Amino acid sequence: MRWPETLRSVFDSLLPAGADGARFHKDFSEFHVQLKNGPYQPYSQVLRLALDKAMRKWNLGNAPSAQERLLRSIQAIPAYPDVIPALRSLARKFRIAIISNTEDALIEETVRGLEIPCEVITAEQARAYKPDHRLFAYAHQRLGVTAGEVLHVGAGYATDMVPAFELGLARVWINRRGEHANPSMPPTAELPDLSKLESRIASIAKGRDASISGARQ
């Protein structure tokens, strides 16, 4: 989903002309990570607090209206053009589950827009955020799958690929921004978007000699 672009659009509407939007985004992201790594709080509260902290750091005051604008934008976050066609094709062959660092109400509209059969696991349900292994354990228990039956696909290296590596999951990194992986914790495969994922699944499964979550229905 277009997470960076959505945040940038919201932040640009808050900052004065000429302000360093990239720096504000970095400050927000640091607060965002700190809050997720602390005691569990609902994601809507994490977003509100992270934005409040960033705005106070920038002497922009406290703006509840800005927080609500951010939440509305997250609820309606658009997908990249490759996402929906790829997922609809995959859903005809594989069981799909979304594991999201969010809460049920915030992701509902996004999931509805995909128009595919899928199961939705959120941080709210597990009371833990990726990369915390508890979210993955909760998802696998609820789905009734083992590590060997899972192919984890994600865009976040630290939040998706690192815990998937630690848990021994087959994993595909959707590296849209050309980032670099830690060589000691590589993904099973790396793709720039989802358009070629389906063609890679058979080779990934064969290489592991295992079925995938995603196991055929």
Over the stretch 176-204, which tens digit does the pLDDT of each residue have? 999 999 999 999 999 999 999 999 998 88
Stronger pLDDT, 204 or 118, i.e. the higher one: 118
CATH number for 83-208: choose from 3.40.190.10, 3.40.50.720, 3.40.640.10, 3.40.50.1000: 3.40.50.1000
Q: Is pTM, for the whole model, over 0.85?
A: yes
Domain with CATH 3.40.50.1000 in the chain: 83-208
* Cα 75 to Cα 43: distance, rounded to the nearest angstrom: 12
Average pLDDT, the chain: 91
Q: What percent of the chain has pLDDT over 90?
A: 80
Q: What number of residues does the chain have? A: 217
User: Tokens 């890679």 correspond to what residue?
Assistant: 200
* Cα 13 to Cα 207: distance, rounded to the nearest angstrom: 47
* Cα 169 to Cα 151: distance, rounded to the nearest angstrom: 6
pLDDT of residue 120: 97
Q: What percent of the chain has pLDDT over 70?
A: 94
Q: Which CATH class is domain 3-75?
A: mainly alpha
Neighbours of 21 (CB within 10 A): 14
Question: What average pLDDT does the segment 47-57 reach?
Answer: 95
pLDDT of residue 212: 39
Decide if 116 contacts 96 (C-beta within 8 A). Answer: yes
The pLDDT of residue 54 is above 50:
yes
